[in-house]
Structures are given as structure tokens and as C-alpha cells.
Structure 1
């Protein structure tokens, strides 16, 4: 079964392996398969589910709502997000304005079939809306009982500090950040993690397998596998391109004996690695078939010894992305419409 960890400086516990439905629900797989996968996740001990209004232009939230319909709400932790365009893409259908946040939370709750979400997250930083307006809107969402806690995604250390200060002044908790993090993508370690540790903010990390590259299925000098994420232009293809260089793929193949020595599969090694970071509360995983989760959840509770961690670093030497400045450019400087 999956272990649980506290999320930030709060009393909320989440499953350290959290199910995310970014590129699957409402897009890659039909609803019946998606619902079956959610139920398989629950059977494996996952209680925490992460989605966003923008995923499949609101369809992913609706599928998750169907999957959890009729279940005991208090036994689940449901997360969603706001920022990216939804609906027809009008001038106020995006961003973190008070108008968009209030309309978005009501839409998300309706699609999810719940009165509240456990965590409501700013999907990116909005440079065009005063931060005071955004955080006041989140405070009011919390006071209305529509969200229990507030989090963010891909904010810089400076943005986290400013947001946390306003949240404290307004009387609510900013408890999480959702960045990309994996053996190959370590850009949060230099600034974001130390700041988060100071402020009592946890990381909920996405792409712990580097868009599937750390599974080892992408081979140097070979075409990408048919039907893989690298071939899906509607979802992950754009994100995976930076990892598909031969020198990266060759380094990943050097992880196979490390995983074997640890008694783990490659995906298990990748997920266990991010969970070794004490500032990481949860690793987000997705699945298009229920059986994929049976392997993934075995990474929960795994402790990697110092020799294994050193072997991982040696195998990936020279191909790791660790420049903290990469975080600065994640949030668009202007809203997407």
C-alpha cells in the first residue's frame, strides 16, 4: 500500500504517490478505461488525485468526477488548478484575476461533483494580475469553504516568498508548489526547495519519470516507440523533446544495472528517487491502463542507500538539468488566450 506524507506545514496527509490525469483523461483514453484506472489507483492505496480545469479543456475534471461519484468524500484528497485558458478563450477565460478564479472554482466543483477541493492551485504565476488581487481571491475561496488549502505550480523562490507572506497576512495557508522534478530535471534544488523548506511549503512533483524517458523505453539512435508520449502532439510530445538527445538516452540506459542492483524496475527507481527528497510530499504519476499502477506504487516506502544515489549521479553525470534559472521562464509573461 502507498504511504502518506504531510503536505507542507499543515495537518493534511496525502498519498506520496498521487494520481494525476493530465494527458490521459478526456484525451488519450476513453472514459471507461480512465475510470477503471482511477479505481485501480484507489485499490492500490492512492487517495490523492490531481487534475486541472485546463486538462482536455475541462473534460479531465469531468471524468475524474465520474470516477469518484458516490464515494466517501472525506476519504479522498482532490486537487485542481486554475490559470490556463478554458472555455472559448475569451479575454477573462485565463489568468489569476478575481473574476477568473471565482468562475473557475465553481466550474471545477460542478465537474468534479464535490462541494470543495482539498487543494486549489495557481497553475502558473500571473504577471498581469496584481498578486494582492490573486491572493485575496484565494482567501475568499477558502473562507467560502470551496477549497481547504491553496497551492501553486512552477513558481519561483521569490514568487513563493511573496505569495506566502500575503497568504499569512490574509489568514490562510499556502502549503504546496507543483514543479517538474526528476533525476534529469533538478532545477528546483538550488532555490525553490531551500525557500520552500523555510516557509513550510511542500513539493508535489510532476513528471518524475521525465515524461517516460526514465523508464528506459526510448533508446539512443532508435525511432521513438509508436504510440508513446513522444508521438502525441496533443499532450506530452513538446515536453519530452529536450530529453530525447542521444547523450541523455545513453545515460539513462546506464541506470538499468543500478535499478537491478536495488531490486527495482526503472520506473520504480525514478519515482523512489524523487521521494528521497524530504521536501517532496508526493510524486504525480499517470496511467492509461490499470495494470501500469501495479508497478508504480511499489516505489512507495523505498529507501535508496547512499551508494545507489551516488551510482545514479555517476550514470547521469553531464546530462542533468540543474540551472535554477530554468524556473524563471516557466510562467508566461503574458496571459495565453
Structure 2
């Protein structure tokens, strides 16, 4: 019987660790990188990394990813897929406590967030969470109903990271700007968030509503009707979310194509040059020609700043129009 693909991946990464190609603290290939390098599904890549984690060869660092553990097991004690010794003779570390007994919903959610931050939602599963926590596969189900329930709790937990001052800035513009920057930073820390927190399907979660309270509260008392207040709030959220969606999608595209963003652009240069040379797009061609020496760097943070100013200018115009119709309202 052929060896399962995940065990071949385990054996190769373990070899790199044992032979010193990967030292303690070094990052190991992510789920996306494993899937691309070995040509396997994300589920297979996740299973391989979980096996290495269970064997003690790797560990997970929040916002960093999977790294080589300070002291991994010897290869002959590595269990399935090892290069020496029998799995039945692999020694087990004596537990200092029953991890299932100490398991809480908060630990399950935090472990899931760490996985999603490092590997994307494609690398998240209940099995992966259990492996991260070192508990039985079914143990997390005692605290969450399943993956969908878990993702809802993850969204609420990361929105709880928003830290708004108890003394908001005095003007509506400053307050909305502060809220938008907090929201952008949140999506920067958790790129997967833009994939699951849909505008068209808002979630009734305490921390999500707290964020809306801050933003909508900035527009209260300006003479706006409730629909306009909510629409302006949603526009800010849509702007941030739309930019942030590119963070996770770029990572997925790199995993699927094997090309970095720069490598992808290099591969498209001939096609763009042919389009410009056709003469059918004179303005586009002129703009591209201006980048011949300096190039163009698409920077999402720069786009955020530019877009936020334009969006707030638009908010100001809407508010001004409403106040002209109802001059008795305050600023």
C-alpha cells in the first residue's frame, strides 16, 4: 500500500529539521506553501503540519505562523512516517495535566484565530484546532457547535480588539476617521476577516455592534435620517473591507499560482506592452509610459489614505446637504 501523501510531507519536513536545514524558531512552510510545493490539497497540507505539531517538531507563534520547536523528538521516536523505529515503540510524553479539563471556549476561539491568521480560513478546521490545543479531536465540540459557529465567535473576538477612546474626538469627521483606521488595522491583523464578515449578512454579535455604535454615533445629531446614517456607516465598512479582501485573496492567488505579486506582474508585462502598442488605449498608454523609469507600486495603505479622504469628503457633502434642508440641527 502506498504511503499517504501527508506522511511523505511529514518525513521531508522532519528531515530538514533533524539535519539542521531548519533550526529552532525558523518558520516552516505554511499550509499554502506545502500545498503548492507538494501539489496536494490544503486539507492534506494541514494534516501534515498538524502531525508534526503533535510529534513535537513544530509549534505555532501568533501572527507569525508555524515554526520549528526548540526541542523536537528524535526521528526514531516520531511515529508514523518516521525514518527509523516503529510507531508502536514511539515514547509518549507524560502529560502534566489533562488538557481537556482545562479547555475553554476562549482557548478554542483563540487557537482558531491563530490558525486563520497564519494559514487563512482554508487551513482552519475543528481537527486543526484540536491539534493546536493538544486535545482530543472531538473536545472542541464541547464548547462550539462546529466550524460555522466557531467562525462567528472568532469574528466577535477580533472585533473586541477595537479600542475606542471613552472620550471620542469632538468632530464627526475625526471620529469616523478614527473608527476607519481602527477597522483597517483590524483587517490588517486578521486578513481572513474580510472573507467572512459580509455586508449583506450582518452578524448580531456584541463586539460587532459596539463598532457600529461608535461609527453611527459619530453621525448622530447632524440632521441625518436613520437610513442615511446607516448607509454612510456601511460605506466606510465597505471601503475598508473591499481593500482588505485583497490581502487574503493575494495569499490565495500566490498559493494557487506559485507566483509572488511581483512575479505575477513580471509575467504580465508583455501582455500589457502589446495592449499599449495597439494604440487603442492612449490615456492608459501615456500613464504607463510615465512609469517606465520609476515604476508603479500598488500600496494598499496608500490607497487606504487616499480613499478615506475622498470618502470623508463625500460624507461632508451629504451632511451639508441635509443641514441646508434642516438648518436647526447642530454640527
Per the TM superposition, whether the score is higher than 0.5 is: no
More helix by share: 2
The structure whose RCO (Cα within 8 Å, separation 6+) is larger is 1
Q: Give TM-score, length-normalised by structure 2.
A: 0.27
